[in-house]
Amino acid sequence: MIDLGRLRALHAVARYGSVNRAAEVLGYTPSAVSQQLAKLERETRTTLIERQGRGIVLTDAAQQLAATAARILELVEDAELTLEEQRGEAIGTLRIAAFPTAARGLLPAALSRLIDEHPGLDVRVDETDPFEAVAAVNRGEVHIAVVHDWANTPLALPEGLARVKLGSDPADVLVPASHRLAGKEFVRAEDLVGERWICQIPGSICHEWLMRTMRRAGVEPDVAYSVAEYQTQLAMLARGIGIGLLPRLGRGPVPDGVVAVPLQPAPSRRIYAVWREIAARRPAIAVTLSTLKQVWPDRSTA
């Protein structure tokens, strides 16, 4: 009877289009995958792959076999999930992909609690941007993704993925203590026209929000200083050479010489946990999701 390992290899090759990528995903060397395919060909006495240029293509028979292999592997995974569900223990490896701010501001609390309450759980974290994180969940390489979106460009999820909103992450304007806005209760976007910005690199919430909001208002923001580190940003702010924007999540208390002023309306970046719907039967995933929800720092008053 056909070996499952061979089917996994074929399925991965069919899915990722190359022996190398399949091997990478499976955690093997390309040689191992190649040998598995060769053996599968010998055992089934069927040509499954053909070389094309530097790569390979699957024959029709292989495509078909890969399709049923997918169903078989799904059933096997389902059986494993059912067993784990029946056992009810949160156990095994759980991989989380989170964007940097969440990795810093949300995961430490969640992780320490998970490790305390579920010693059998081996949690791994990868810092990944939201787009890639969702793709990784969809491919099954990661169990949970912590991602964000903006109210005006809501996150679209592939079929089969579910999400729960953990909360919103408001961002404040950081200004030097001597700044004209330092004493205000809140500021509006239009108050910020003409300012020089100290932003973290493109992809940061500062950059994102500036571009989204200011441009919509018809103003091109002046990002004079683009820095990589939060500490650099703070040092510049303290010198009074510009202002910044920073999410509260994962931000420590602002140092002397810098003041955080809430924005009105607050930049509404929403944070979600995303997972494969069927995988939620795994207790490990269920407890992690619930822990993430519980440790969300409720700073509605902050």
Residue matched to tokens 């996150």: 155
The values of phi and psi at residue 145, to 5°, are -115, 135
Q: Which one of 60-68, 227-235, 237-245, 260-268 is the stretch in contact with a second copy (CB under 8 A)?
A: 60-68
Between residues 6 and 148, which has the closer beta carbon with respect to a second copy? 6
CB of 74 to a second copy, least distance (A): 10
The CA distance from 17 to 132, in Å, is 19
Nearer CB in complex with DNA: 53/252: 53
Q: Report d(CA 184, CA 187) in Å as an integer.
A: 7
Single residue of 68, 112, 231, 294 touching a second copy by CB under 8 A: 68
Distance CA 241, CA 196 (A): 8
């530097």: which residue's tokens?
Answer: 54
The closest of 161, 133, 157, 158 to 147, measured between CA atoms, is 133
- Binding site residues, DNA, CB under 7 A: 3, 5, 18-21, 27-39, 49, 51, 53-56
Q: Which residue has the tokens 């580190």?
A: 229
* Cβ neighbours of 32 (radius 10 Å): 15
How many residues contact a second copy, by CB under 8 A? 29
- Contact (CB, 8 A) for 188 and 264: yes
One residue of 29, 31, 46, 112 binding a second copy per CB under 8 A: 46
* Per CB under 8 A, 44 contacts a second copy: yes
- Residue 45 interacts with, from DNA, a second copy, none (CB under 5-8 Å by kind): a second copy
Establish if 78 lies at the interface with a second copy (CB under 8 A): yes
The CB-of-143 to DNA minimum distance in angstroms stands at: 22
Q: Tell the smallest beta-carbon distance from residue 33 to DNA (Å).
A: 7
State the pairing for strand pair 161-169/269-276. antiparallel
Cβ partners under 8 Å of residue 156, min gap 6: none
89 to 148, contacts with a second copy by CB under 8 A?
Answer: 89, 91
Interface residues toward a second copy, by CB under 8 A: 1-4, 7-8, 44-46, 61, 64-65, 68-69, 71-73, 75-80, 82-83, 86-87, 89, 91
